[in-house]
Amino acid sequence: MSSIRILSDRVANQIAAGEVIERPAAVIKELVENSLDAGATRIEVEFRHGGRSYMRVEDNGKGMSKDDALLSLERHATSKIVETADLDQLSSFGFRGEALPSIASVARFEMQTRPAAAVVGTEVVINGGKLIHVRECGLAPGTRITVTHLFNAVPARRKFLKSDATESAHIIQAVRLYALACPQTAFTLIEDGRVFFQSPVCLTLQERVAEIFGRQLAADLLAVETMEEGLKLTGLIGRPGVSRTARHEMITFVNRRPVDSRTLNYALIESYATTLAKGRYPVAVLFLELNPAEVDVNVHPAKREVRFRSEGQVRGFVIRAVLQKLRETGHAAPVAPDQIPNPNTQIPNTNSQFPISNSQTPTPNFQLPAPAPSLPPVAPPAASFSVPPFSVYRAPPAVILSTTASPFAVPRTLALTGWRFLGTAHGDYALFESPAGLVVVDRRAAHERVWFERLQGQFARNELASQRLLFAIPVELDAIGSALLLDRLDWLAKHGMEVGEFGRNFFRIEAVPSWLEPEAAEDFLRDVIGLIRDGQLDEKNPRLAEEELARLAAQKAVRLPESTNETDALALLARLFACTQPHTSPAGRPTHFELSRGDLAKRFQR
């Protein structure tokens, strides 16, 4: 029996493990990377209970001799780099030599491995960093690593694990990323004894996307391939109009490595800025290839962050490539001036998987397509029509005081005395004559404000007016979405939306809040999941969560009535003035402004 003490420094490894191995998905990521580095053309991943009880990664790669197998468990043992200079030329996933010893220090770790040339394989078993045994074993060429009882000896870490459903969603997402990165390797993913997906060797990325994300998404994507001065971009991007509320389907790779890159994310968001509604994100699976010396991947072991030596060049290149494709497709919508991305716009740093820091928003250094021709510019008015923080006019006192039972039922008795509806301009703006002058109302903004406060009130009073649907609406979600939704079904039901689970990742919307059109229910549900994913509907802060839900509903789900007759227009105005914050929409846009009689007189030099 061997007496090698290969893991003398258990503590050091457990500490390193804290960095590298934060959750079961990190173990899977490291093992799958090793299999790919070993040249595997077939990888099978199996896990149980979100990975906490059992994980196995098996490959048909090059395997290890007994000596190498033992060496691989030493800290900083790697066959992949010799000197730091090699880091520049790195083409493998791993290079730190930390993963295996780290995993072995915080779990029971069993490795069977055999190079094709050897007749027998080697089995090494380690438990919590202690070598249990090394012996010969039989197996086909390749490597099988089984990790059980993760974090058993490190209760502090175990405590931080989320529900099995959430942990397994992370594992599934990780395996998907590598399956996308390497379509030529066959992947099988088995969860709790059931095959979750199984993709044979694929010739193209499209095929792989269809295999693991479904034909629907594959059909919504356009192929991109562009080269320029040492940069190559290939992959798939969403057709204009295909969008998500969160950025988790903006999947990017640099030199085949799944990455989280501010530069690439911004480039994508900017490219689509003209065709996407506010708060929506594009869908893309993009591969950037460039000289490894131009990328720094060594930012953090567990994170996917990368930095480019010339951020500006990469950014410009990606934007040009994507815009070019969108234009070729002929779908690129004309740019309205107010849609030109504002470099100061803050993109919320909400997605934990692809965090983007707000601190240093890069300035765009690219050309946007020319704005669509519009009316000749009108000379700016001499008087400034700024929105007065507190308007010079006052809503009739009757409205302000009518906050009895339901503040939103506009009392019949209410008359906006002295107000006249003059009509609408450009569809969106309602014009009124007021006793004090002229008032222009942005109907959309006013409607959003009214509904926002109305819904907040309903939520606060626990008023749940919900309508059962005659035909339930089926919705298919991805694994993470499903896991997140499952945790919040009760909460949603409490807010009028009843969703039932019927099969893995399949749900049925059975009842919707009375304000929601059934046709809009699926989109709304997806938007809600996007918010949950971004941490904006945190259960621990129910008041804020309800506010976010009300904001989303007011903006996206409650339809603005088409009708603009006098009665409706005045009713909207009266309801707006009854709001606690009538001056801005829930998103902070002004709802109206007034041109006083004094302003008018001044402009006409009376």
Quote the least distance from Cβ 483 to ligand ADP, whole Å: 28
Q: How far is the CB of 334 from ligand ADP (least distance, A)?
A: 49
35 belongs to the binding site for ligand ADP (CB under 6 A): yes
| Stretch of residues binding ligand ADP (CB under 6 A), selected from 32-40, 43-51, 193-201, 571-579 | 32-40
What are the C-alpha distances in Å from 331 to residues 240, 323, 325? 6, 10, 9
Alpha helices (H) in 195-255, listed in sequence order? 205-213, 215-219
Q: Which does 252 bind (CB under 5 to 8 A by kind): Mg ion, ligand ADP, none?
A: none
Residue 100 site contact among ligand ADP, Mg ion, none (CB < 5 to 8 Å, cut-off depends on kind):
ligand ADP
Torsion of the alpha carbons at 410, 415, 418 and 423, rounded to the nearest 10: 50
CB of 61 to Mg ion, least distance (A): 12
- Per-residue contact string for residues 22-41; x = within reach of Mg ion by CB under 5 A: ------------x-------
Q: Which stretch binds ligand ADP (CB under 6 A): 97-105, 167-175, 235-243, 369-377?
A: 97-105
Read off the DSSP letter of residue 509: E
Q: For the CB of residue 170, give the shortest distance to Mg ion in the complex, in Å.
A: 18
Beta carbon nearer to Mg ion, 50 or 94: 94
Please report whether residue 72 would count as binding Mg ion according to CB under 5 A: no
- Nearer Cβ to ligand ADP, position 94 or 258? 94
Q: By beta-carbon distance, which residue lies closest to ligand ADP?
A: 94
Distances (CA, A) of 308 to 22, 96, 281, 302: 26, 20, 23, 18
Instruction: For tokens 């005659």, name the residue.
Output: 470
For residue 122, state whether it binds ligand ADP (rule: CB under 6 A): no
Site string for Mg ion, 76-115 (x = CB under 5 A): ------------------x----x----------------
Tell me how crowded residue 201 is: count the other CB atoms within 10 A of its CB. Answer: 14
- Is 96 one of the binding residues for ligand ADP (CB under 6 A)? yes
Among 24, 97, 129, 238, binds ligand ADP (CB under 6 A): 97
- Residues pairing with 512 in the sheet: 467
Cα(328)–Cα(220) distance, integer angstroms: 16
- Buried residues in 101-132 as b, exposed as e (16+ CB within 10 A): bbbbbbbbbbbbbbbeeeeebbbbbbbbbebe
CA distance 26 to 50: 12
Q: CA 237 → CA 13, 178, 222, 269, 355, distances in Å?
A: 41, 18, 5, 12, 20
Would you give the DSSP letter of residue 309?
Answer: T
Q: What does 245 interact with, of Mg ion, ligand ADP, none (CB < 5 to 8 A by kind)?
A: none
Q: Where are the beta strands (DSSP E) in 486-568?
A: 498-501, 506-513
CA 69 to chain centre: 39
Among the listed ranges 62-70, 268-276, 321-329, 365-373, the one in contact with ligand ADP (CB under 6 A) is: 62-70
Interface ranges with ligand ADP (CB under 6 A)? 30, 34-35, 38, 59, 61-64, 72, 77-80, 94-100, 143
